[in-house]
Amino acid sequence: MGDIARDESSFYSNAEGYWRDVPPTVEGMLGGYGSISSIDINGSKAFLHKFLSEAEGKTGSGCALDCGAGIGRISKRLLLPLFRTVDLVDVTQEFLDKAKSYLGEDAKRVGNFFCSGLQDFVPESGRYDVIWIQWVIGHLTDDHLVEFLRRCQNALRPGGLVIIKDNVSYEGVVPDEVDSSVCRDLEILHGLASRAGLRVVHEEQQMNFPKEIFQVHTIALR
């Protein structure tokens, strides 16, 4: 058990160390692929509008949570234009400090800047219409991901959604020693969501990304 605890501890501390050395820029947040930012945001916007514009079972537009928010790239271009209030959570304080200037005037509509790893973060019960989790679940162990998704479910308002947008492997789990993360296949992701008591409402693959990077899928859960 001690070895498992040590491995888990280094899994998280190595990731924190990696991100501490990343510049607080859009290019840094996207691992050198800053050019895909608009494609990514436009795809996410089209995905989210399906739920915000539905008459029946519509998802509210009061408050969203940006998980693994970094400097607030997604908050600035996707969430703040669509929600009255947005909270940001990230493990790197420098990124959150940068977000306050990067978001400009819209920073006034940020409710909270939380500095925490998602494995430790407990979102407020019943606060959020949408919890957006992008390019960060690879930094959680399976058990911690399941536990976090359960906490997210508890944090949703009626009609609320948990949305995961992330890299997906073709088969199994692919580790990345550089940033201390893993990439899981869709079957594994679906299984973890199911363990958390969530069901897939809608799912899409993000199109028009560079061929050399992992496929990226967006999954809405409730």
SS3 (DSSP) at 172 = coil
Residue 75 domain boundaries: 2-221
Domain CATH code at residue 112: 3.40.50.150
Comparing CA positions, the residue from 59, 49, 2, 9 lying closest to residue 180 is 9
> Tens place of pLDDT for every residue, the chain, 222 residues?
334 455 999 999 999 999 999 999 999 999 999 999 999 999 999 999 999 976 567 899 999 999 999 999 999 999 999 999 999 999 999 999 999 999 999 999 999 999 999 999 999 999 999 999 999 999 999 999 999 999 999 999 999 999 999 999 999 999 999 999 999 999 999 999 999 999 999 999 999 999 999 999 999 999
In whole angstroms, what is the distance from residue 221 CA to residue 163 CA? 6
**pTM reported for the whole predicted model:** 0.96
Give me the number of domains the chain comprises: 1
In whole angstroms, what is the distance from residue 17 CA to residue 10 CA? 10
Q: Which residues are annotated as a binding site for S-adenosyl-L-methionine?
A: 68, 73, 90-92, 118-119, 134
**Number of other CB atoms surrounding residue 67 within 10 Å:** 25
Q: Which residues are annotated as a binding site?
A: 68, 73, 90-92, 118-119, 134
